[in-house]
Amino acid sequence: MVGALRDVVLIVLQLYTYVIITAVIASWLVGFGILQIARTIIRALNDLTEPVFRPIRRVIPPFGGLDLSPMIALLIIIFLQRWIVAGTLL
């Protein structure tokens, strides 16, 4: 039971990693004016990532036009994945 729960948590964390990477790439494409058609997809990605990015931005605000919250979120996910795999959590 615990192993299955661990596997589900790891899968969810990996999927969220893909969501974060997709959101970052989509924001770059919009920023460069390349992607104007997929506004609905971008809104959905923002809805998925903002609840995680917002608290990170409160601690480390964007500076010089660079938002570090996606990188920090990915580092937290990697830490959690390794912690779970090491067996110290779940």
Phi, psi torsion values for 60, nearest 5 degrees: -125, 90
Residue 43 forms part of a structural domain: yes
77's CB contacts (< 8 A; 6+ apart) are 13, 16, 17, 20
The answer for residues whose C-beta is within 8 angstroms of residue 22's C-beta and 6 or more apart is 45
The answer to whether residue 2 is domain-embedded is no
In a domain, 76, yes or no: yes
Domain membership of residue 39 as a residue range? 7-85
- Domain for residue 74, yes or no? yes
Residue 41 falls inside a structural domain: yes
Domain count, the chain: 1
Token reading at 51: 């609840």
Q: What is the pLDDT of residues 39-88, one digit of tens each?
A: 778 888 899 999 999 999 999 998 888 899 999 999 999 999 999 888 76
User: Is 1 part of any domain?
Assistant: no
Q: Tell me the per-residue pLDDT of 3-33, one tens digit each, with 9 for 90 and over.
A: 788 889 999 999 999 999 999 988 888 777 7
In a domain, 19, yes or no: yes
Q: Examine the pLDDT at 1 and tell me if it is beyond 80.
A: no
